[in-house]
Amino acid sequence: MIWRLPEPRFDVASALDRGGRDYQEDSLVADFAVGDDCGIVVLADGMGGHSAGDVASKIVVTEVFSELKFHSDLFFDHAQSMPTLMSNAINSANACVREAMLENPESKGMGSTVVASVMAGNRMYWTSVGDSPLYHYRGGKMTQVNEDHSMAPQIDALVLAGAIKPEEAKSHPDRNCLTSAIAGGKINRMDNRGVALDLKAGDIVVVSSDGLQFLEDKVITRIISRNRRKPSADIANALLQAVKGLEHPEQDNISFAVVKVRHEKPVIRPVRRGAEAVTEFASTRLTEAMVLDGGASAGVVAPKDGGAAAAQAFDERSTAEAASGAAPKSKVAQG
């Protein structure tokens, strides 16, 4: 008998380009392992100039991704904990940015946006701070599913109210001013609704920096529609070439990931008969242990309700940390 890996649910490709800038301040990671049924995309758009903005975006992507990856076992079985998990990842990244600025005064003022997407089976969770968009395409229509934490929504509201003209809104000097960012201080706004978006076969998700928005939404939609049956790499290339083809002198850094949903087959996750998963909460991290037939792991007591107790403990720990103001330990490399 020949063992075969399951058909991949997701087809993923990413793109990165400096645009018209002298340096790259965007950072991106897309992790979708062959044989697994879930994946993570984290993208950050740094600000603060060379040797600051790029550092901030790398810190944010590294911290958010590592937090989410470390707790990936919760994606399927503890959906109720996803809002807490994702907000913890954002707050941890913010603490790391703050610590980096304290240790390197020359980087004071750096910051970053972030948009993180977790896809688990047919569900997609997300969180974001700033103006990096998360697009969802289905059946010829594309929508931005996350909030825009910039002045753009308020300026567009002025257009609807008849206060300014559409062409004035597009070139308004305050349009790209952020109303929330990860900069080591208070995070004014965080899009973290905890409600999953159901994914269907044929859906296309684009996680991007605002550099892609030099293309109008209708143009992005048209490009995706024309290439929707092609691999994600072809869609990514078509989008990138369209942006570069504008030859805009002020083109921002461009970064994005394209995720195509290939099928909706039921998630099959192996369960070991006679074993019960136990989650022990030590310090600020999660560790997995197994209670096997005939005995328990040393120092671990299995709760009768298994995963439910683990999820409850996770939420209680996070609430307690938030109340005490404790900050996670920085992962920024020293020296």
> pLDDT for 218-227, tens place per residue?
999 999 999 9
pLDDT tier, 50 (very low <50, low <70, confident <90, very high otherwise) = low
Does an H or E element contain 194, and which?
Answer: none
Give the pLDDT confidence score for residue 215 in this predicted structure: 98
| Higher per-residue confidence, 310 vs 140 | 140
Over residues 160-184, mean pLDDT:
95
List the alpha helices (DSSP H) in 217-269.
217-227, 232-246
Give the model's pLDDT for residue 1.
56
Look at residue 283 and tell me whether its pLDDT is greater than 50. Answer: no
pLDDT per residue as tens digits for the range 232-279: 999 999 999 999 999 999 999 999 999 999 999 877 666 544 434 433
Paired tokens of 317: 């720990």
Label the pairing between strands 38-47 and 26-31: antiparallel
Question: Which of 196, 182, 242, 219 has its CA nearest to residue 17?
Answer: 242
Note the pLDDT of residue 36.
87
* For the chain, percent of residues with pLDDT exceeding 90: 72
> Which is nearest to 222 in space by CA: 116, 140, 310?
140
Give the pLDDT band of residue 49 (cuts 50, 70, 90).
Answer: confident
Mean pLDDT computed over 5-18: 92
Domains of the chain: 10-261 (3.60.40.10), 276-323 (no CATH)
Of 174, 162, 97, nearest to 129 by C-alpha is 97
> Using one digit for the tens of pLDDT, what is the confidence trace for 75-121?
998 989 999 999 999 999 999 999 999 999 999 999 999 999 999 99
Q: Specify the residue for token string 């062409």.
A: 167
Helix (H) or strand (E) holding 167: helix 166-170
CA-based radius of gyration for the chain? 21
φ, ψ (nearest 5 deg) of residue 139: 55, 40
pLDDT for the residue numbered 309 = 44
Least confident piece of the model among 44-58, 151-165, 186-200, 283-297: 283-297
In 252-262, which positions are buried (b, 16+ CB within 10 angstroms) versus exposed (e)?
bbbbbbbbbbe
Q: Is the pLDDT of residue 153 over 80?
A: yes
How far is the CA of 252 from the CAs of 22, 55, 214, in angstroms? 10, 17, 8
* The pLDDT value given to residue 268: 66
The least confident of 96-100, 261-265, 300-304, 320-324 is 300-304
307-324 vs 82-103: helix crossing angle, rounded to 10: 40
Question: pLDDT-derived band of residue 3, with 50, 70 and 90 as boundaries?
Answer: low
Residue 311 has pLDDT above 80, yes or no: no
